[in-house]
Amino acid sequence: MSGIVCAVRGGPDSQPTLQRAIRLARETHLPLFFLYVVNLEFLDRTASSRTYIISKEMAQMGEFILLTAQAQAEAHGIEARGVVKHGRVTEEIAAFCREIGAVYLVIGQPQIQNEDSLFTATRHQEFIERIENQTRAKVILPEET
């Protein structure tokens, strides 16, 4: 199996990423996978014992976000699959790319530049290099047309 993986978080900032992935799927005719990763590290300082119950709720929210992405793809004639994973975002994306033998990985640009952000500019670049080294997927950013 091979295809395009599009890591989505939802919200207006993820629209360019979604659109880029849909366009790429239309151009390459490769299967499109929207991936949402449930990451609960933000609870570490406030409610670490609640991860059990919140994990399910977050997964459902992720499925919901993926449904909206799938609906957008469908509007462009692309049938996309939604996949929810649990864990650290970067590791889960890399693992999923390996799992399906992804050809392309479409990810967004970091929007908020703070230490707590999962994708600061530095980490983002490190992540791109890591993915391209560890998997055979080429990383595509929304700006690249």
Partner 1 sequence: MPKPLRFYSLIAFLVLMGALLALPRQTAQGQKALPNSLLTGVVYDRQNQKVDNARVSLFAAGADAPLSQTVTQADGRYALTIPATIPDELTVRIEREHFQPQIIELDTAVAQTLRTGQPVSLPDTILRRQITLSFWIATLIFMGMLLLIAFGKLHNTLAALLGMSVVFAVSYLGRPLSPELFIFDFRGALRYVDWNVIFLIMGMMIIIAVVERTGIFQWLAFAAYRLSRGRIWFLVIILMAITGVASATLDNVTTMLLMTPITVQIALALSINPLALLIPEVLASNVAGISTLIGTPTNILIGSYARLSFNDFLINLTPGVLLAMTGLILYCQFSYRRELLSGHMGGISQLLLEKLAERAQITQPDHLKKAGVVGALMLILFVTGERIHLVPAVTALMGATALLVWIRPDIEEMIEAVDWTTLVFFIGLFVVVGAVQEVGLISFIAEGIGRIVGSNLLLAVLVVTWFSALLSTVIANIPFTAAMLPVVGYLTATIPGAQNNVLFYCLSVGSAMGGNGSLIGASANMVTAGIAERAGYPITYAYFFKKGFPALLITVSLATIWLIIRFL
Residues that bind partner 1 in the complex, under the rule CB under 8 A? 8-14, 38-39, 42-50, 52-54, 57-58, 60-61, 64-65, 67-68, 71, 111-112
Closest to partner 1 by CB, 113 or 122: 113
DSSP assignment of 110-137:
--S-STT-TT-HHHHHHHHHHHHHHSSP
Residue with Cβ nearer partner 1 (38 or 73): 38
Q: How far is the CB of 9 from partner 1 (least distance, A)?
A: 4
- Least distance in Å: CB of 101 to partner 1? 27
Q: Which is nearer to partner 1, 4 or 66 (CB)?
A: 66
> Minimum distance from CB of 13 to partner 1 (Å)?
6
The residue among 111, 105, 113, 114 whose CA lies nearest residue 141 is: 105
> What is the identity of the amino acid at 65?
I
User: How many residues are recorded in the chain?
Assistant: 145
Q: How far from chain centre, in Å, is Cα 123?
A: 15
Looking at beta carbons only, is 39 or 135 nearer to partner 1? 39
User: Are the C-beta atoms of residues 1 and 16 closer than 8 Å to each other?
Assistant: no
**Residue closest to 36 by CA, chosen among 64, 74, 77:** 64
Least distance in angstroms from the C-beta of 133 to partner 1: 27
